[in-house]
Structure 1
Amino acid sequence: MKNLFTLLTVIVLGNLISCQSPKENATMEVMSFDIQVKNIKMGEHDAFVYHLKNSNGMEVELTNYGAILSKILVPDREGNSQNIMLTYEKVEDFINDTYFFGATAGRYANRIAKGKFELDGEEFQLATNNGENHLHGGLKGFNRQLWDGEVIDGLENEIGIRMRYVSEDGEEGYPGTLTTTIEFILGKDNRLKINMEAETDKVTIVNLTHHGYFNLSNMEENILNHEVQLFVAYFTPVDQGLIPTGELKSVEGTPFDFREPRKVGERIEDTGAGYDHNFVVSEVHDGELRKMAEVYHEGTGRLMRVFSTKPGVQFYTGNFLDGKQTTQGVTYSKNYGFCLEPQFFPNSPNEPSFPSARLEPGDTYRHEIVYEFDLK
């Protein structure tokens, strides 16, 4: 396959976007963005890797195979930009991923009990890939599909990539042909926005999220010393299969109380296997963008904020990381990364009291996720 490599430098002056080189604007205060695009082979697929960079030291790497976000680099308090995501040595290695590193999870992120649900009296059986349950879209979810990808034109003070995938009726057992579009947009203020939209031709269920594993420590230690704050009052207890029981339980007096910043490792042993639970940001789904979480690492000074328009967020502490993956000399053992996955609640199609993930023809599913990075 012929190798393609494209570099685009964009200089932003207020609302003016110029194609001039950085040297020509050297005497002016500017915000510059770089986009690099190259082609790779993902198994039998011809795919692309996109590298986005702003002049504040933040870089994002992603691929249209699986709409996977493979790296995020942000500065620490010393000004050193390093990767904060669990990843592989090279993007091509994601073809064999089993951990959902950086994945776009869909059609339904998280678990559905026994892979079954009903819509209007009709029962649907999904692929089961997590014991007897359905997880993150099944055996070949959205993270294993090839998406169309393109650079977004006409953005001001930001750059982005748009991806599109058409999931056919019956794929992994889901009803309806679902057309999904995702935009990954990097701003000058070290914010990464992920905008997701989907439409269907039959009534169906949709729950899309980003499943990146983060570690703010320059990969020098696990995440047990990271301080986490969750802006929630309730969580959804689970059974042994990690399926919610249907109860909304107060976090007060439990190891799940992160209303004030706490280190992950402070009470993780009291949870049993670790955190892998949905936290209730809102009991209704009103589409309002809310701050869900903050995570801070004292050693590097990195502060991460997570916002979303969905009513729940899964806090997962890498309990199933088994030390079989080593990247750049770092072995990803248990608790080496954390996930904050904005979402509808797990198994909501089988829990009428949970916010509904139902999507009708003519309606549009929308989900906005924002990752914001700062220092303190």
Structure 2
Amino acid sequence: MARSQLLLALLCLAASLGAQAAGSGGRKMVGVYELRMGDFSVKVTNWGARLMSLVLPDSKGNLADVVLGKDTIAEYVNDTSYFGPITGRVGQRISRGRFVLDGKVYHLERNDGRNTLHGGGRGFHKVIWTVEEYMPDGDSPYITFYYRSFDGEQGFPGNLDVYVTYRLSAPYTLGVHMNATALDRATPVNLLLHTYWNLGGHGSGDVLGHTLGLFASRYTVLDVDLLPSSGRVAPVAGTPFDFRAPTAIGSRIRQVTGGKVVGYDANYVIDGEQERMRPVAQVQDGASGRAVELWANQATVQLYTGNWLNNTKGKDGKVYNQYAGFTLETMGYVDAVNHPEFPSQTLLAGQEYKHDMVLKFSF
């Protein structure tokens, strides 16, 4: 990072710290926190409640970090690729940056052309969370972050209490648990974890050879702006979106466009009952032998193949190019607040939102 860019990043971080300190009655410190169980470890930060790394062995016992990211917090400040944060209040896109709730029109910041992406330019990925609890080691290491989202933040109504817990358990399992409570007004909530994975190790090349299986027989049809403008949900059978049988990610990638670029940026409806924990995906890297099985209790999952990565500076001197990682973002339906035909993502005052993910790694 050039000196001018680094200075700008630090100034942005300082400004954010100052703004939040003024609202909270005290200064919050940004830190990096490690959870460890033997040769299995993760690092997280309270800047965006972000997953920064996950290290585990391969089939030969070699350790590698399988999460794409940055070296320093200052570099995350200006990150536009969404490396590893919790995004909200509403992840993914809201059409035209507006919605109607209880007869009132709400206008949000448009940070993705004419639409709102991941809660706005200063959504949950760009704020400092409070470290509520931290147990770095032991039988079940965990950390819990807390954030109070204020009424009107990025245009959303009502005060919202949000908690995110990262927890390790044996063998090689990471749990991510997101909870939110609408304190005084109805508001849409749809959180997601935006982690890029490469099971061969971050910076090891592309993920086109990874084998992906999705427990999804339908997908949400998205338009060129990656919004479900038609409201249609279609079968994956006979399309390049069909991963019901484990298939290499790159086998049909040239047949799809994620927005305006070749690659997957697709939303799948997970088979089974929405609020129950159930299998979402299985991914395996044949070269390293590493695999991951994802379970969650959400309605959909967004598959993104890093289509816009282009000579992007990553950790440890690595450079990430197109398809260097994939995301599996479990969540509710995209733009549900503007589609009454989709299950609602609106919390009433006093209601609680619960989003649980479990990632089971093997090698």
Same fold (TM over 0.5): yes
Tell me which amino acid in the other structure corresponds to 1:205: P
Give the equivalent residue in structure 1 for 2:221: 237
Counterpart CA distance in 2 for 1:232 and 1:102 is: 24
Check the 8 A contact 1:283/1:355 in 2, yes or no.
Answer: no
Check the 8 A contact 2:94/2:115 in 1, yes or no.
Answer: yes
Give the equivalent residue in structure 2 for 1:32: none
Give the equivalent residue in structure 2 for 1:343: 331
Shift of 1:274: 1.1
Residue 52 (structure 1) aligned with residue 29 (structure 2): no
SS for the counterpart of 1:47 is coil
Radius of gyration: which is bigger? 1
Q: Which has the higher strand share?
A: 1
Check the 8 A contact 2:42/2:54 in 1, yes or no.
Answer: yes
SS for the counterpart of 1:214 is coil
Give the equivalent residue in structure 2 for 1:61: 43
CA deviation profile, 1:217-258 (whole Å, cap 9, x unmatched): 123220111100000100011111110131111000000000
- Describe how 1:152-171 pairs up with structure 2 within 5 A: 152=134, 157-171=139-153
Check the 8 A contact 1:109/1:137 in 2, yes or no.
Answer: yes
Counterpart CA distance in 2 for 1:344 and 1:126 is: 19
CA deviation profile, 1:180-218 (whole Å, cap 9, x unmatched): 011111112211111111111100000011000000112
- Describe how 1:13-52 pairs up with structure 2 within 5 A: 43-44=13-14, 45=17, 46-52=29-35
Counterpart CA distance in 1 for 2:309 and 2:283 is: 20
Aligned in 2, Cα 1:322/1:199: closer, same or farther, shift over 3 Å? same
Check the 8 A contact 1:231/1:291 in 2, yes or no.
Answer: yes
Tell me which amino acid in the other structure corresponds to 2:340: P
Tell me which amino acid in the other structure corresponds to 2:224: Q
CA deviation profile, 1:322-346 (whole Å, cap 9, x unmatched): 2132432321111111000000111
Check the 8 A contact 1:284/1:355 in 2, yes or no.
Answer: no
Counterpart CA distance in 2 for 1:283 and 1:267 is: 26
Counterpart CA distance in 1 for 2:298 and 2:77 is: 29
Give the equivalent residue in structure 2 for 1:135: 117
Name the stretch that deviates more: 132-141 or 237-246. 237-246
Check the 8 A contact 2:265/2:302 in 1, yes or no.
Answer: yes
**Any unmatched runs of 5+ in structure 1?**
1-39
Select the residue among 183, 186, 199 that pairs with 1:203.
186
Residue 101 (structure 1) aligned with residue 83 (structure 2): yes
Residue 352 (structure 1) aligned with residue 352 (structure 2): no
Select the residue among 222, 236, 256 that pairs with 1:251.
236
Counterpart CA distance in 2 for 1:276 and 1:50 is: 31
Shift of 1:151: 3.2
Counterpart CA distance in 2 for 1:91 and 1:82 is: 21
SS for the counterpart of 2:312 is coil
Check the 8 A contact 1:237/1:248 in 2, yes or no.
Answer: yes
Shift of 1:361: 1.1
Residue 294 (structure 1) aligned with residue 282 (structure 2): yes
Counterpart CA distance in 2 for 1:343 and 1:263 is: 24
Tell me the C-alpha RMSD between the 2 structures: 1.8
Name the stretch that deviates more: 317-326 or 104-113. 317-326
Shift of 1:83: 0.4
Residue 274 (structure 1) aligned with residue 263 (structure 2): yes
**Any unmatched runs of 5+ in structure 2?**
1-9, 18-28
SS for the counterpart of 2:141 is strand
Counterpart CA distance in 2 for 1:112 and 1:106 is: 11
Check the 8 A contact 2:37/2:138 in 1, yes or no.
Answer: no
Shift of 1:90: 2.5
Counterpart CA distance in 1 for 2:55 and 2:75 is: 19
SS for the counterpart of 1:43 is helix
Shift of 1:123: 1.3
Q: Count matched residues.
A: 334
Residue 264 (structure 1) aligned with residue 246 (structure 2): no
Name the stretch that deviates more: 70-79 or 321-330. 321-330
SS for the counterpart of 1:114 is helix
Q: Which has the higher helix share?
A: 2
Aligned in 2, Cα 1:184/1:306: closer, same or farther, shift over 3 Å? same
TM-score under structure 2 normalisation? 0.88
Counterpart CA distance in 1 for 2:358 and 2:234 is: 27
Tell me which amino acid in the other structure corresponds to 1:345: Y
Tell me which amino acid in the other structure corresponds to 1:124: Y
Check the 8 A contact 1:42/1:65 in 2, yes or no.
Answer: no
SS for the counterpart of 2:158 is coil
